[in-house]
Amino acid sequence: MHPPHHRTTPRLRTAPRLRTVRRLRTALAGAAAGLLVVGLAALPARAGSGTPATPGARTPLGTRAHTTGRAHFEPGPCPRTADPAPPIEGARCGTLTVPENRARHDGRTITLGVEIVPAATPRPAPDPIVWFAGGPGDDAVSEIQLALGGGLNSDRDVIFMSQRGTYSADPALTCPNIDHFNADALDLVYGAPSTGRLHVRQTRACRDALAGGGADLAAYDTTESAADYADLREALCIEQWNVFGISYGTDLALLYLREHPQGIRSVGIDGVLPPSLASGAVTWTAAREGFDGIFRACAQQSACNDRYPDLKAVFERLVGELEARPVTTTVTVPGHPDPVEVVLDGGVLVNWLTFASHLAAGVPRSIDELAHGNPQRIAEQWAGGKLSPQAVGRLSHGLAYGVFCREWTPFESEEDVIEAGRRAFPSFPDSVLANAPGLAWLHADCRAWDVPAAPSSVRDVTRSDIPSLVLSGGFDAQTAPSSGPYAARTLSRSTEVTVPYVAHVVFADSPCAQSITRSFFDTPTAPDTGCLAGLQPPEFEIAP
């Protein structure tokens, strides 16, 4: 796909090893303290103090079995979660059974885990919120604390359903061999062709295992997932609901809005990835915008600018130097008693900053230390992300590659990726530009995955007059601040908000974004955005 002429960039938190915000924050170690960053599980969950709807006021969602068309909802135990979590008081659970491939009337069925968290008020609004997880390949049920930490269930039930192939679905198309390879490859040169060949070998092994187990890999994509949610609404007998999608979940939400608009009261999207832009190539502009947001904020803060002048130029110089002469260092990662050898090249530095944008206050100091011969902070964070237990066995590579290889790579070339990178970062070597941030070796992986391209209509622009909230973060290096306005231009009743000084998925980190989101679902055509006026940039760490 050739880059779009309008604005630029997006993407979600993607790539075969893409993480939910919880994984991102726990993965990036706080190098100075030598500890993992506190994960989103530490955020307060409001559902625990809530109560179900008043008896007799209505039939609580998820308490009755129901069949609609070829889909069936069955109440039952709550789905498993990727992280240990106490039961949520009043939660109602079950499974939705749907066709694996709706084009095949004689094909097998799959089951998707469903958990309905009650509103914190005894008299909730009648229209619940359904949560669309990121990834592609993240598990919605494992993102419950992220949603509830922001009070999303303050006055509405919130519905979480595992997207097909994800951790709490059956089958779960996870391939821990890829996650283990990513950890084992810390001592390899990231951008070396030999590393790419090893990565593709693991991808092919994953594909062979899943296909050998009976999975129809071409049925794991955004179109089928959108149909699953349309079936869920009918199976739960919901007349009208609201949608909230994060990261890749915004791609899914926009396609769902286009293909299944019935019964949608409002749509919120955060960390926006429009289907018409989704590709490896556009991630380069996302990185450019997110990085520049951090560099500008430092330059505008006198203490940061005085201590770390020309931060942008220093970073770009280091990318070229490390690509020409990678640095090897040894670090200790919490939870791993043995020292870990880490190789830092230009590609690693770019990928590190993409995700370190969530810890922006420490970025200038980390870059400065690297420039002065100390790579420890960056190496510890990079290794911590790969070696974290939360990085292994929870992502659905089957769904991730289904989306990438059916909906992304058929509509772009490898040359498109390099050219997009060159426009965004003219000084970077081609060996760095060949691998888009977070998506190394994607085209080669997709050749190994070997699924047919989706119809080109999957990339159509979504046009709608359903009230929409479009949220972006000023430091978002994964889907880019500009992707929000791009999506909003064809959503005629949208409120478009860029929350400054926040990285990808602002709902996870910004109390202001959480307040705006809750306000939106209360009054979709007039959310309260007044909190934006008081936001301040982070106080960047200043080394002694």
pLDDT category, 102, cuts 50, 70, 90? very high
> How much is the pLDDT for 59?
74
> How much is the pLDDT for 58?
63
Tokens of 181: 């390879």
Q: Which of 25, 7, 135 is nearest to 482 (CA)?
A: 7
**pLDDT tens digits, one per residue of 257-289:** 999 999 999 999 999 999 999 998 889 999 999
The SS3 call for residue 242 is strand
* Whether 398 contacts 182, CB under 8 Å: no
> How much is the pLDDT for 527?
98
* Whether 457 contacts 440, CB under 8 Å: no
- Report the mean per-residue pLDDT for the chain: 89
Residue type (1 letter), 159: I
> How much is the pLDDT for 69?
87
**pLDDT tens digits, one per residue of 315-328:** 999 999 999 999 99
pLDDT at 199 over 80: yes
Calculate the CA dihedral of residues 259, 495, 531, 135 and round it to 10 degrees: 30
Q: Which of 23-37, 97-111, 445-459 has the lowest mean pLDDT?
A: 23-37
- Do the strands 327-333 and 129-132 form a parallel or antiparallel pair, or are they unpaired? unpaired
User: Which architecture characterizes domain 63-171+217-278+458-527 according to CATH?
Assistant: 3-Layer(aba) Sandwich (3.40)
pLDDT category, 337, cuts 50, 70, 90? confident
pLDDT at 434 over 80: yes
**pLDDT tens digits, one per residue of 208-233:** 999 999 999 999 999 999 999 999 99
Q: Would you mind telling me the total number of residues written for the chain in this entry?
A: 544
* Whether 445 contacts 198, CB under 8 Å: no
Q: End-to-end distance of the chain based on CA atoms, in angstroms?
A: 47
Domain extents for the chain?
21-40+175-211+281-449, 63-171+217-278+458-527
> How much is the pLDDT for 54?
39
Residue 339, judged by CB atoms within 10 A of its CB (0-12, 13-18, 19+), counts as exposed
**pLDDT tens digits, one per residue of 18-71:** 333 444 344 333 332 222 222 222 222 323 333 333 333 467 888 899 998 889
Q: Which of 264-273, 329-338, 482-491, 527-536 has the lowest mean pLDDT?
A: 329-338
**pLDDT tens digits, one per residue of 379-411:** 999 999 999 888 899 999 999 999 999 999 999
Predicted TM-score (pTM) above 0.85: yes
List Cα–Cα distances, 539 to 40, 145, 378, 442, in angstroms.
22, 27, 19, 37
